[in-house]
Amino acid sequence: MGWLDRLHGNPLNWLLEPSAPAVRALALRDLTEAPLPEVLAARREANQSAPITFILSKMDPEGYWDQPGPGYSHKYHSTVWSILSLAQVGAHIDEDERIQTACRYLLEHTLTRSGQFTASGAPSYTFDCLQGNLCWALTELGCCDERLDQAFDWMTRTVNGVGIAPVHEKNASAHFYAIKCGPGFACGINGSLACAWGAVKVLRALAALPAEKRTPLVQDAIQTGVDFLFSVDPATADYPTAPGHAISRNWWRFGFPVYYISDILQVLETLCLLGYASDPRLRNALELVESKQDEQGRWNLEYSYSGKAWGNFGTIHRPNKWVTLRALRVLKAAG
């Protein structure tokens, strides 16, 4: 494993410890050459253990968390955030029928008939980070539903504005809104400028599509997103910000789970999934990741939702298995 030469130590045994079944299952899948039966057995064990069982224990039998409805408000205990957490820790529809129930509830209450995931129930309250996050999460959880295809279609078309009218054309069958205000990842919350956090989420979702679903429209959207992320050195995160706002320091704080805030590690994760792991434009960002490891090849939790979301994902500023797993995926892809 040449990529291990980038590390100060070998943390694989640490990640594969039986005491953390969810981390172990994903590390087996993503970092080792373990045979498929072993990977699936590990996934099954993970889905019978914390944090997956704990998150699911907080779900209402109808399929929502905290309160009925779209499930965006009441961060980070409500439905949207719980679904995102489950997807990131390796939950899967085939392992627990409650996950299927949750996915159906989300599609019925958070997705509009036009394909927008919405924070309020109305299509006007859609935005790229929410759309990308939920398209990715449902795919990662193993959800197969025609409504999810519709959500991907809306998201894909928004990237280049294909078939979507400007905000002021309210009578058009499909138009942009005050928040999702235009193509190219434009976001009203970001001063109507392109939002890199949203772009990362959209690209991550598109990267999860199998080859047979990567239509020319999808390929064009991916290329637009890749060009945007490479429009600056990703290590600088010098992407557009609303007037009067500085670049968020959270870009350099590697965390887990990852919700609407993105970090540089997620930019790398996404570009690696899209086949750019060896691109020289990632050199500085990869060096940044390497520089954050400790003497044992582990990464600290630098951004935490402790006490805000369901589950315990580690102590802030301490070596963290989840963040280490994220970093190692990137370094393995880079070779």
Domain housing 112? 50-291
Q: Is residue 182 part of a domain?
A: yes
Q: Is residue 5 part of a domain?
A: no
Q: Is 90 exceeded by the pLDDT of residue 4?
A: yes
d(CA 34, CA 27): 10
For position 201, what pLDDT does the model report?
99
Q: Report the Cα 115 to chain-centroid distance in Å.
A: 19
Q: Is residue 15 part of a domain?
A: no
Domains identified in the chain, total number: 1
* DSSP β-bridge partners for residue 59: 65
pTM over 0.95: yes
Q: Give tens-digit pLDDT for 165-182.
A: 999 999 999 999 999 999
For position 1, what pLDDT does the model report?
61
Q: Is residue 218 part of a domain?
A: yes
d(CA 274, CA 204): 8
Q: Give tens-digit pLDDT for 291-305.
A: 999 999 999 999 999
Q: Is 90 exceeded by the pLDDT of residue 262?
A: yes
Taking residue 251's Cβ as centre, other Cβ atoms within 10 Å add up to 22
Residue 319, SS3? strand
Average confidence (pLDDT) over 267-284? 99
Residue type, 76: Y
Taking residue 155's Cβ as centre, other Cβ atoms within 10 Å add up to 25
Place of tokens 């058009």: 172
d(CA 300, CA 323): 7
- Smallest CA-to-CA distance from 297 within 1, 12, 10, 4 is with 10
For position 109, what pLDDT does the model report?
98
Q: Is residue 313 part of a domain?
A: no
DSSP string, 175-241: B--SSS-BTTTEEGGGTTEE-HHHHHHHHHHHHTS-GGG--HHHHHHHHHHHHHHTTS-TTTT----
Query: Do the strands 193-194 and 186-187 form a parallel or antiparallel pair, or are they unpaired?
Result: antiparallel
Q: Give tens-digit pLDDT for 97-156.
A: 999 999 999 999 999 999 999 999 999 999 999 999 999 999 999 999 999 999 999 999
Tokens of 304: 């935490």
Q: Is residue 234 part of a domain?
A: yes
For position 219, what pLDDT does the model report?
99
- Smallest CA-to-CA distance from 3 within 278, 273, 281, 234 is with 278
For position 2, what pLDDT does the model report?
86
Average pLDDT of the chain is 98
DSSP string, 89-118: TT--GGG-HHHHHHHHHHHHHTB-TTS-B-
- Determine contact, residues 98/104, Cβ cutoff 8 Å: no
Q: Give tens-digit pLDDT for 194-245.
A: 999 999 999 999 999 999 999 999 999 999 999 999 999 999 999 999 999 9
In angstroms, the Cα distances linking 335 to 1, 7, 23, 276, 277 are 8, 12, 21, 12, 8
Q: Give tens-digit pLDDT for 15-54.
A: 999 999 999 999 999 999 999 999 999 999 999 999 999 9
Residue type, 191: G
The CA-based angle 45-48-52, given to 5 degrees, is 110
Q: Is residue 185 part of a domain?
A: yes
Residue type, 8: H
Q: Is residue 21 part of a domain?
A: no
